[in-house]
Amino acid sequence: MSDIKENVLNAIGNTPLVKLNKINVKNIEIYVKLEYYSPGMSIKDRIALGMIEDAERKGLIEPGDTIIGKTSGNTGIGLAIACAVKGYRFVAVMSAGNSAERQKILRALGAEVVLVPQQPGEEPGRISRKDNDAVEKKTQELTEKLNAYRPNQYINSMNWKVHQHTTGQEIIRQTSGRLDAFVAYIGTGGTFVGIARALKSFNNDIKCYPVEPGVAAFLAGKKVITTQHLIQGGGHAVKPPFWDESIVDGYIQVSEDEAIKTARALAKNEGILTGFSGGANVAAAAKLDDSLRPGSIVVTVLPDTGLKYLSTVLYE
Residues near ligand PMP, by CB under 6 A: 42, 44, 72, 74, 185-192, 232-234, 275, 277, 303-304
The amino acid sitting at 28 is: I
Q: Say how many Å lie between the first and final Cα of the chain, rounded.
A: 44
Q: How far is the CB of 192 from ligand PMP (least distance, A)?
A: 6
Which candidate in 5, 22, 33, 44 is catalytic? 44
> Which residue, 88 or 275, is less far from ligand PMP as judged by CB?
275
Min dist CB 63 to ligand PMP, Å, is 26
Minimal distance in Å, beta carbon 211 to ligand PMP?
A: 9
Select 39 or 303, whichever has its Cβ closest to ligand PMP: 303
Residues 6+ apart with CB under 8 A from 201: none
Distance CA(36)–CA(92), nearest Å, equals: 21
287 is catalytic: no
Question: Distances from the Cα of 152 to the Cαs of 48, 112, 140, 158, 227, in angstroms?
Answer: 10, 17, 11, 10, 25
C-beta nearest to ligand PMP: residue: 233
Compute CA distances 225 → 190, 221, 235, 264, whole Å.
Answer: 19, 11, 7, 25
In terms of CB distance, is 65 or 184 closer to ligand PMP? 184
* CB 182, min distance to ligand PMP, A: 13
Residue 159 · residue 190 · CB < 8 Å: yes
**Which helix (H) or strand (E) covers residue 103, if one does?**
helix 100-108
Catalytic residues: 44
